[in-house]
Amino acid sequence: MSIDSAQTTLRHRPAHAQKRRRSLPIGEQQHDARLYREAYGWAVDETGSLQMGGGMVGVLVQSIFAGPTAEYLQRQESCGPVLDLGMGVDGWLFLADPNELVLSQPEMPPGVTVLGCPYKIPLPTPANRGVRWINPPRSRARWLPTLATVIAAAIATSPS
């Protein structure tokens, strides 16, 4: 058996060509405000901030409980979009459908805060580089878990 040692032409990028920067892991897509509006039907302004209200709230779960809460929801096949807001925020934000559930902060479990209208939540866009998806939204599965489901998961995974 012989190996053909034919010459291979190597193609190099011209010196004047710009190198592409890869700021996201392979397979992760960078969205802009327009894409969030079109793909998911969300109320996103030009700065890339998502307006809470209109059937959507954010559930901020302290970082000590956030990972176990997300894992619990995934085991139940009920995990919706989850954000790490960065910017010194201690925890992850779970997007949820309030489903007409109204609770005051004293009724919340420790380490859980519900953010409804008029809050605006930054989404991962070129303008909001510190924000990242823990569990990104899916255009084919636009549903959100209910607020009660997310709170129940936080309660189930917090040591009490």
Domain residue spans of the chain = 33-157
Which of the pair, 14 or 101, is modelled with greater confidence? 101
Residue 78 has which token pair? 């009920």
Q: Which of 17, 35, 2 is nearest to 137 (CA)?
A: 35
DSSP secondary structure code for residue 122 in this structure? E
β partners of residue 128: 125
pLDDT tens digits, one per residue of 1-47 = 333 334 433 334 444 444 444 443 434 455 789 999 998 999 999 99
Q: Could you give the CA distance from residue 92 to residue 148 in angstroms, rounded to a whole number?
A: 17
Q: Could you give the CA distance from residue 41 to residue 45 in angstroms, rounded to a whole number?
A: 12
Determine which helix (DSSP H) or strand (DSSP E) holds 148, and give its type and residue range.
Answer: helix 147-157
Mutual angle of helices 63-75 and 147-157, in 10-degree steps: 110
| Distances from the Cα of 48 to the Cα of 35, 66, 121, 126, 147, angstroms | 10, 23, 8, 9, 23
Q: Could you give the CA distance from residue 42 to residue 100 in angstroms, rounded to a whole number?
A: 19
- What's residue 102's pLDDT? 74
pLDDT band at 105 (very low <50, low <70, confident <90, very high): confident
- Considering the entire predicted model, what is its pTM? 0.79
- The mean per-residue pLDDT over the stretch 54-60 comes to 94
